């Protein structure tokens, strides 16, 4: 068995693991990343890329913002269309100047991978049999196999950035964690195409036929989504059927301008709200999807992971720089405050814009439920106070500073 030693072992080389590693490296804190799949597989995951200011600032602090700032598109707002009537949510005006940046998660991951490689920081890709040990001890360790060789990695702390299905959360004894979960009765069918976006900004659409989202990756590449039943399969939807249904759900003026083309990728993503408490167990810290999942409505997933990274980075920096080892025990308490804010916003926005069985969701007569929804839409879309609530949540709450 090959012996390795580092200060922080990071499980998972997605954007949260890579970002944490880069931030720690710039503070002189050693890391080794262990990843289950290949770099190509990681980069092949199609994900959204609406970045809050807090995420953008972290990428700058990590020293990998050059391409993001030259190629990313600043969005001052977005639209919500209800039965064809469009309402612009002016983020910049309603939040006192905050905006979001459109830059694909794949591109962020690529930038972070290249920066880690250029800095000659160690990452073990295509690792198997990953196990975490001694989490309640002073010196935990990780065992894994890579290219036929068994490894033991001794460390001070372990950051579990390995996603919902990863080993990190599952290593915490069931008796020591509580999990909250809500499965939504539909999914998002997404289509990626090499076509110009139908709008300069994102358009969230509520219609009698169901929810749709007109998103973008760049000025020449688009990503569109349709709400579909969980029973649907990707092969049920030809490109032609997708475009026809999207046109029915978009506002009429947008549908007329829609440019269609062959799909580069199609997939169906189920929607769930999930939180694991606590987010730490001894020397293990859960980060991002390992600890929580939010519906994609509201673009909180990647940004919430970045918030976890920001908190853990500050605590580890304080532990190593100032010798305040006790401060790391605050991670879960601080992170969960923001997690539940984002979970509630994503649930609320999903509930407002999607087609639900009213009895299942609200446990009340469907007619009265529809009246309540109409009242909410009227307040939040037609009154500036309501729009400001949406804008501040969408643009992202400020990252907490750990004093």
For the segment 330-389, what is each residue's pLDDT rounded down to a tens digit?
A: 999 999 999 999 999 999 999 999 987 533 444 556 778 788 888 999 999 999 999 999
Mean pLDDT of 306-324: 96
State residue 355's pLDDT score: 82
State residue 358's pLDDT score: 37
What's the CA gap between 272 and 138, in Å, rounded? 36
Residue 249 inside a domain? The answer is yes
Positive or negative torsion for Cα 68, 73, 75, 81: negative
Q: Three-state SS for 125?
A: coil
Residues 151 and 6: beta-carbon distance below 8 Å: no
State residue 368's pLDDT score: 82
Beta strand pairing call for 222-228 and 210-216: antiparallel
Residues pairing with 228 in the sheet: 187
Residue 403 inside a domain? The answer is no
State residue 362's pLDDT score: 47
Identify how many contiguous H helices and E strands the chain contains and give both numbers. 14, 21
Is 386 in the same domain as 331?
no
CA 119 to chain centre: 26
Is 265 in the same domain as 123?
no
Residue 86 inside a domain? The answer is no
Residue 168 inside a domain? The answer is yes
Rg (C-alpha) for the chain, rounded Å, is: 22
* Total domain count, the chain: 2
Angle, CA 116 vertex, CA 115 and CA 122 arms, to 5°: 165
State residue 397's pLDDT score: 83
Residues 212 and 198: beta-carbon distance below 8 Å: no
CATH code, domain carrying 266: 3.30.9.10
For the segment 194-204, what is each residue's pLDDT rounded down to a tens digit?
A: 999 999 999 99
Least confident of 237-241, 248-252, 372-376: 372-376
Instruction: HSE, CB side, 13 Å, CA atoms: give it for residue 39.
Output: 13
Where in the sequence numbering do the catalytic residues fall?
75, 204, 296, 300, 394
Could you tell me where the DSSP H helices lie in 281-330?
301-322
State residue 65's pLDDT score: 95
pLDDT at 239 over 80: yes
State residue 45's pLDDT score: 75
Is 233 in the same domain as 167?
no
State residue 359's pLDDT score: 34
């Amino acid at each position: 068995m090959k012996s390795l030693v580092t200060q922080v072992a990071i499980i998972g080389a997605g954007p949260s693991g890579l970002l944490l590693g880069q931030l720690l490296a710039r503070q002189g804190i050693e890391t080794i990343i262990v990843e289950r799949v290949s770099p190509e597989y990681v980069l092949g995951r199609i994900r959204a890329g609406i970045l809050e200011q807090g995420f953008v600032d972290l990428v700058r602090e990590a020293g990998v913002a050059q391409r993001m700032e030259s190629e990313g598109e600043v969005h001052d707002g977005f639209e919500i269309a209800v039965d064809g009537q469009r309402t612009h949510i002016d983020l910049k005006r309603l939040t006192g100047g905050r905006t979001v940046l459109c830059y694909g998660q794949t591109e962020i991951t690529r930038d972070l991978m290249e920066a880690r490689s250029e800095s000659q920081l160690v990452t073990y890709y295509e690792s198997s049999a990953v196990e975490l040990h001694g989490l309640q001890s002073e010196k935990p360790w990780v065992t894994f196999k890579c290219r036929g060789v068994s490894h033991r990695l001794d460390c001070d702390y372990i950051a579990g950035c390995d996603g919902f299905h990863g080993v990190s959360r599952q290593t915490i004894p069931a008796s020591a964690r509580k999990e909250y979960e809500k499965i939504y009765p539909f999914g998002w069918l997404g289509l990626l195409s090499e076509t110009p976006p139908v709008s300069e900004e994102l358009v969230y659409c509520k219609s009698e036929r169901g929810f749709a989202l007109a998103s973008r990756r760049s000025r020449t590449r688009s990503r569109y989504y349709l709400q579909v039943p969980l029973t649907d399969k990707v092969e049920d939807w030809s490109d032609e059927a997708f475009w026809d249904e999207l046109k029915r759900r978009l506002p009429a003026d947008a549908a007329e301008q829609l440019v269609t083309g062959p799909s580069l990728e199609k997939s169906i993503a189920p929607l769930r709200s999930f939180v694991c408490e606590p987010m730490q167990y001894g020397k293990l810290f859960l980060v991002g999807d390992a600890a929580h999942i939010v519906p994609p409505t509201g673009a909180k997933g990647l940004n919430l992971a970045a918030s976890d990274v920001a908190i853990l980075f500050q605590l580890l920096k304080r532990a190593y720089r100032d010798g305040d080892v006790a401060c790391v025990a605050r991670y879960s308490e601080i992170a969960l405050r923001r997690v539940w804010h984002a979970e509630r916003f994503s649930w609320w926005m999903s509930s407002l814009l999607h087609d639900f069985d009213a009895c299942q969701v609200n446990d009340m007569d469907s007619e009265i439920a529809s009246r309540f929804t109409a009242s909410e839409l009227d307040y939040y879309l037609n009154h500036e106070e309501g729009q400001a609530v949406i804008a501040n949540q969408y643009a992202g709450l400020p990252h907490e500073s750990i004093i």
